Structure 1
Amino acid sequence: MQTSATFDPATVTRILFEGFPSFAIALFYLIGLTAVGAFAWGVYVQIRKYRRGQPLSKSFGKIDLQARFKDMVRVVLSHRTVARRDAAAGRAHRMIFYGFAVLFLGTATVTVDYDVTARFLGFHFWNGDFYLLFKLAMNLAGVSMIAGLIYMMVRRGWIKPPKLDYKRPDRQPGDPDYDRSGYRREDWAFLWTLVLIGITGFVLSALRLVWLQDRAVVWDTRWWSPVAALLAEMIKGVGVSASAAYAMRTGLWWFHGLLALTFIALIPYTKVKHIFTASGSLMMRDPLAAQRLPRVEPDSEKVGYKTITDFTWKHLLNLDACTKCGRCHEACPANAVGAPLSPRDVILSLREFANEALQKNALPDEVKLDVHGKDIGQVFMETVWSCRTCMACVEICPVAVEHVPIIVQMRRKLVEDGEMEPQVQKTLQAIHKNGNSFNESKRKRAAWTKPLPFQIKDARKEPVDLLWFVGDYASFDPRNQRVTQGFATLLHNAGIDFGLLYEGESNAGNDVRRVGEEGLYELLAENNIAMLGQSHFKRIVTTDPHSYNTIRNEYPDFGGKFEIEHYTSLVARMLSEGALEPRRKLGYRVTFHDPCHLGRFNKGYDAPRQILSAIGCELVDMPRSRDNSFCCGAGGGRIWMSDPVGKEKPSQNRMHEAARIEGLEVFVVCCPKDLTMFEDALKTSGYEGRFVVRELIELIAESLAQPAGDDPAEPGGVRAIAAA
């Protein structure tokens, strides 16, 4: 046997195809080129599919590809979206990703050295210290990838989190597209293929070490491949000779090579393509995907999504980016209460439909392109209308799939065709006629001001510092009117110069737009923008998160750029600056519900909590809070629709969560719709008397007022009401 002194360290390398005849090498290259050709054809088919979609709306804005690419790279490398709310899966995916990336780059490095620099430039760089470090890095990468894959196998096979159950809530057993076991098989095939590629790679290296054990340049440097070296020691230990190792290595080499080339060839046709589509989806992510829905272009011949070719190319890319991780499925409030909706299944259905219709050489006729209906791959009308547009799915998706905008685009077509619940249609007609969802006369919008002992300015007639955009529920709902009067009193007592639009205010249109009635939304937005433009004010405040969202994020597309804030940030600032001074600490044990349109949509998490702290409440957050808050069920126009009899409502589900907080006294909200939904749910879920639902404004008013005992008729009577 040679000793380490008999070889030049600079000659340490691995000669590819050692021991293979020329015809075998030629055959391998032929198979490799075939695999690359299959991959290239698959890429072409996918690009052709996306090109059959529509261009992006002008409202998407100018695309800065360089900035988007940098942001995508940061997200991919950090894995922050993958690790959110599932740290274990995030760690495992990170191990797989970085292991695979290093192995891929290593293989590419070998190819460049062998087929480019050596063949055409006459020099090798894959030797010496570089080669030794290369071997070590590849070993560690292989261990990382295999470990991550094994955890994912354990997760799917034994842990079995519910979000990975592909059972469909929008289909019944026996329906032709109910069974999604094919996805399960694809998942396992993906995991096993990568595991086998990794394991056979290690065994191949070990067999090569045993085969060439008499070469010091190979054997004496074996521990730079620690896993392969350990396996080699074990193989030698069981009596495998060098010649036997050579024979085994030859057969395994072909198995490993063909498996790897097959993997490459199938990338565009299987879930493996998410490596590229997920990156593309993240790169094209709209940071205001649900906060700011796209406009219907004035010259557009179609409204919404009727056929799969109506989808933008970006939304077609979103369909392929979905990794079936189930996080949107788990977060969806409609799915949680048994509605026939899973955001994941909507995306998968549309993906299956797109692949069937758009990957063919010629497009089928328009009837077969219709995504609405009851046929295989189509999305049911009941599914589309079950969505609360709460954005929980969009917010948690690790690959930036835009479920809500897609669903709203499908709703737009249903609305245009008149396919909606009669109550929704009546509500939209009422809004069109009177400017509010209560079908009340416009003159009654400010009727709540009459009992007040002071006059509120009309901002249309005289200038004010602060214009209060009140909203429908705060103006017309009797329970919310008391809260509205409380906020008016707070502003008046604080000496704030504020005013209203009175009957000049119309429904802001946030929920009208998310129902899918884009024409009515644009009418409302234009009317409100015109009225605001005629008024004199410095900034806007609103107690309605829904109005806040659309005025802040969507009115600018129609020329209405205004400075607006939700009342919680205004009050928090007044408390911190001393403009408001609580006269007593309330001492209540409370929990707080983050409204979707204030929290997830606009990141307004801190101000309400700062207020609760300032007025002396003990806050205990529910498990689902802040960006993981659970929708009350009112969004997306669902407050205008009847829920199925006998089914749990999202608001009741939320009450059950709150009731698990020991000693809870007050369930705090800061949205008029939340107050309506949760006070009703408190009664129907059986918790009336255990705790109360209160608007944050009511607690603020109680803290600012002189101590007056526990009078149930006053905001200060929380404990008395709960004990009654």
Structure 2
Amino acid sequence: MTELDTPTRQLFRHMPSSEVAIFYAIALAACLIFCYGIWLRVKKYRSGRKGPEKLMPSLRQIRLAIAAVAKHSTLRKRNPFVGFVHMIMFWGFAALFTATALITIDHDVLAPISENLRFWKGDFYLGFLLVLDILAAGFVIGVALLIGYRYLAKPARLDYARRDLKPEAYDRTGYKRDDMLFAWSLLIIGLTGFLLEILRILADRPKHEVWAVVSWHLANVFESLGVAAADANAFYPYAWWFHAILVFSFIAYIPYSKAIHMFVATVNLALKDPLAGKRLPALDLEAASSGYTSITDLTAKELINIDSCTKCGRCHAACPAGAGGFPLSPRDVILSLKEQADAKFGGANLFHEIKPEPASENANLIEPKTLYSCTTCLSCVETCPVGVEHVPLIVKMRRALVEEGTMETNLQKVLERIAMTGNSFGQPEDERGSWTSSLPFKVKDATQEPVDVLWFVGDYASFDAGLQEITRKVATILHRAEVNFGILYAAERNSGNDVRRVGEEGLYQMLAEMNIAAIAQAQFKEIITTDPHSYNTLVNEYPEFGGTYKVRHHTELIWELIESGALPVANRLSGAATYHDPCHLARYVGVTDAPRAILGAVGVELREMPRNRENTFCCGAGGGRIWMTDTGDKDRPSVQRIHEALEIPGLEYFVVTCPKDLAMYRDAAKTVGNERLKVTDLVELVEAATAS
């Protein structure tokens, strides 16, 4: 095979040197504009306060981030169709970018040194054609499908309407314009790229270009429609320059638009805290305030975090507060912070929300009512495909509100009661174990005698008169299975999980220290708790304060007892049930299997609601919301959840495994006026099935 017969391609086909020079001048200008935009963003991040977070991810974090991007695991999690189509588009784009880089290296780096160093020819070139043509077709199809999905299906999560402002108070045309420019630019770049291939094949008919399988067959279609070689050759230069200018314009546009997420999101995924929201940061002793009062309080990592948002609306759609008619959208919180950061530090975003009057510099970062609407259910963090950490930011802003005394009167009273008595009910400390008095057996005091299992009971299970019978049933089940267990009695305090998420960090730390000291007095092998909120803070947050324990939910222990035969099922039950996963049990600590296994073991048929396991819907009690009295303008999340369950035919039980859930859903069931569905704690079914 001679040099002339070697498969390759002339890069600047029939182009005079003057036009080549113009091409490189435009390329340089585009790259300079791109670099300036990147510099503006880096400058903004460097303006952030130095925080405790590490800005250099570990190799493991980098590997996990690359794997997440490569597999699109975070994007496919809640919407497989969009995730799969985006993955096709992504890999097509990555292939085109890689191809451009390889051609640049071959033509502009290696060719001037020696022709023998060039690799863009021969078998490599043929394989290059085949792979690139197929992936490029995937890119075009993927972009087209996503555009069609957005503008034809019109998913509600992509509606930019704000929940906290009237339509006349803002204008988000810029966001919509950016979305359209981004999507249509990609599609036109892909289509004109194929058009160039088709025209070149029609004009020259190089035999080896048959390896470009898609372009070759499309060229045949054009030829059958009457496009001659001369026509293709005449039109080619115009198409070439249009495509080149469009590509360079897109490169220059990237840092100033939504397109930047291609870079920032990957960085953010590498920096993401795997316990974001589950383990809140302690107070920054060097900060002027306990919470965030100004955009200058945000750290460099947090500025990267909010810049990663793609406005996809998944958090917006998943938020129970928004569904309940509260003025909270996690997406809008992040977008508001992003725009305030750009205004303060000079960001590169060209597409902003327009408001008639800019907010006062001394105003709250986010309105208090919006911040206090959050249930800290973690659905926003869990569903975000780019790793935005909404809840920690919301809590940090709440801390400033708590510090200045901006909160509901009822919430303030509850926090005062907890500070005085160690529980949210304001009951005397020595009454915490009073629920045990009517039991026919003695519940051990774990601070006085050794036990295998230390039961951290929690406020609601200990003091709520409507829930104490459930608490006694748990004790009865453990006693029946001959579990050596005990409780802390008066030494136990509120775990502080919700206190911390309200924003009262000082009170939380006091409670944590008191509980850790009390637990230190006990001899035990493991801790169980009936309260998922306590479970989270015991296992995820107390270690930072010196308390590291083996912690399990009581359903995990009960399932172990049933499975081992220590707690035999004597009476098989019947009926159909749906199970509600508590946010703090499913999303926070990942316990979803044990309750379902127990339902099967006692004979109840499980019929799942559409939103289940980690995708569960919040009851509305978390984040201190159970202590607040304000309401939204739609049905409460708990009422919506009951309606969701009632859509399933033939249900007898709505099963819960959280004291707060039991209180919330019993009240919601009364509100709905339902007579068919019985809100039941799982231990009620277990106690009935194991009674002799």
Corresponding residue of 1:67? 60
Structure 2 Cα separation of the partners of residues 187 and 646 of structure 1: 31
**RMSD (Å), alpha carbons:** 1.9
2:582 corresponds to 1:595: yes
Shift of 1:296: 1.0
Between the aligned partners of 2:359 and 2:179, the Cα distance in structure 1 is: 29
Distance 1:519 1:210, change over 3 A: same
Aligned with 2:9 (options 10, 14, 17): 14
Answering whether residue 294 of structure 2 is matched by residue 307 of structure 1, we say: yes
2:196 touches 2:240 (CA, 8 Å); kept in 1?
Answer: yes
Deviation of residue 463 (structure 1)? 1.8
User: What is the letter of the counterpart of residue 36 of structure 2?
Assistant: W
> Taking structure 1 as reference, are residues 104 and 291 closer, same or farther at Cα in structure 2, changes over 3 Å only?
same
Residues 52 and 371 (structure 1), Cα distance of their counterparts in 2 relative to 1, 3 Å cut: farther
Change (3 A) 1:690 1:642: same
Cα deviation, residue 245, structure 1 = 2.8
1:26 corresponds to 2:13:
no
**Aligned-pair distance for 1:646?**
5.7
Compared with structure 1, are the counterparts of its residues 606 and 253 closer, same or farther at alpha carbon in structure 2 (3 Å cutoff)? same
Structure 2 match to 1:467: 454
Is this contact kept in 2: 1:475–1:484, CA < 8 A?
Answer: yes
Residues 271-670 of structure 1 correspond to what in structure 2 (within 5 A)?
A: 271-359=258-346, 373=364, 378-644=365-631, 647-670=634-657
Q: Which residue of 1 aligns with 2:48?
A: 53
Q: Distance in 2 between matches of 1:120 and 1:74?
A: 37
- Residue 508 of structure 1 and its aligned partner are, at CA, apart by 0.3
Aligned equivalent of 1:44: 39
The alpha carbon displacement at 1:235 in A equals 4.2
Q: Which moved more, 1:631-640 or 1:276-285?
A: 276-285
- The equivalent residue for 1:78 is 71
2:179 — aligned with what? Answer: 187
Aligned partner of residue 495 in structure 1, secondary structure? coil
Q: Which moved more, 1:133-142 or 1:165-174?
A: 133-142
Q: Is the 8 A contact 1:308 1:370 kept in 2?
A: no
What is the CA–CA distance in structure 2 between the aligned matches of 1:369 and 1:320, rounded to whole Å?
22
Displacement, 1:368?
Answer: 7.7
Distance 1:120 1:103 in 2: 25
- Secondary structure at 1:114 match in 2: helix
Q: How far apart are the structure 2 equivalents of 1:235 and 1:186?
A: 33
Question: Residues of 1 paired with 2:5 and 2:201: CA distance?
Answer: 19
What is the match of residue 353 of structure 2?
none
Q: Aligned pair 1:699/2:689, yes or no? A: no
Contact 2:481 2:561 in 1 (8 A): no
Question: 2:379–2:615: 8 Å Cα contact kept in structure 1?
Answer: yes
Contact 1:10/1:128, CA 8 A, preserved across alignment: no
Secondary structure at the counterpart of residue 624 of structure 2 = helix
Conserved in 2, the CA contact under 8 Å of 1:291 and 1:601?
yes
Letter in 1 for 2:413: K
Q: What pairs with 1:96-175 in structure 2 (closer than 5 Å)?
A: 96-123=89-116, 124-175=118-169
Identify if the C-alpha distance between structure 1 residues 304 and 120 changes in structure 2 by more than 3 Å, giving closer, same or farther. farther
Report the TM-score, using the length of structure 2 for normalisation.
0.95
AA aligned to 1:202 is F
Q: Which residue of 1 aligns with 2:200?
A: 208
Change (3 A) 1:479 1:260: same
- Is contact 1:10-1:129 (8 Å) kept? no
Does the CA-based 8 Å contact 1:371-1:379 persist in structure 2? no
- The corresponding residue for 1:714 is none
Which is further off, 352-361 or 317-326? 352-361
* Equivalent pair of 1:357/1:369 in contact (CA under 8 Å): no
Provide closer, same or farther for how the CA distance between residues 619 and 25 of structure 1 changes in structure 2, counting only shifts above 3 A. same
Between 644-653 and 544-553, report the one with greater CA deviation: 644-653
Query: Are residues 341 and 641 of structure 1, via their aligned partners in 2, closer, same or farther at CA, if it must alter by over 3 Å?
Result: same
Match of 1:709 in 2: none
CA contact (8 A) 2:532 2:553 kept: yes
TM-score by length of 1: 0.91
CA contact (8 A) 1:438 1:472 kept: yes
Paired with 1:345 and 1:632, the residues of 2 have a C-alpha distance of 22
Provide structure 2 residue ranges, at least 5 long, that are not aligned to the other structure: 349-357
Q: Which runs of 4+ in 1 moved over 6 A?
A: none
Are 1:230 and 2:230 counterparts?
A: no
Bigger mean CA deviation after superposition, 95-104 or 198-207: 198-207
For residues 365-384 of structure 1, give each alpha carbon's deviation from its aligned partner in whole angstroms, at most 9, with x where no partner exists: xx9895854xxxx5221111
Whether contact under 8 Å (1:470, 1:543) holds in the other structure is: yes
SS in 1 for 2:654: strand
Whether the aligned pair in 2 keeps the contact of 1:585 and 1:616 (CA below 8 Å) is yes
Q: Secondary structure at the match of 2:467?
A: helix
Would you say the 8 A contact 2:662–2:679 is kept in 1? yes
Distance 1:605 1:9, change over 3 A: farther
Conservation of the 8 A alpha-carbon contact between 1:457 and 1:499: yes
Question: Is the CA contact 1:350–1:371 (under 8 Å) kept in the aligned structure 2?
Answer: no
Q: How many residues align?
A: 682
Q: Displacement of 1:535 after TM fit?
A: 2.0
| Contact 2:40–2:346 (Cα < 8 Å) also in 1 | yes
SS of 1:119's equivalent in the other structure is coil
Query: Do the aligned partners of residues 263 and 63 (structure 1) sit closer, same or farther apart at CA in structure 2, a change above 3 Å counting?
Result: closer
1:95 alignment partner, one of 88, 96, 106? 88
Checking the alignment, whether the CA contact within 8 Å between 2:455 and 2:485 is kept in structure 1 is: yes
User: Per-residue deviation at 1:209?
Assistant: 2.5
Cα deviation for residue 85 of structure 1 reads 2.1
| Distance in 2 (alpha carbons) for counterparts of 1:323 and 1:690 | 43
Q: 1:590, 1:620 within 8 Å by CA — same for their partners in 2?
A: yes
SS at match of 2:336: helix
Return the letter of the residue paired with 1:43: I
Letter in 2 for 1:195: L
Change in 2 beyond 3 A, CA 1:543/1:30? same
Shift in Å at residue 319 of structure 1?
A: 1.2
Q: Which residue of 1 aligns with 2:188?
A: 196
CA distance in 2, matches of 1:360, 1:329: 24
**1-structure distance, mates of 2:473, 2:306:** 47
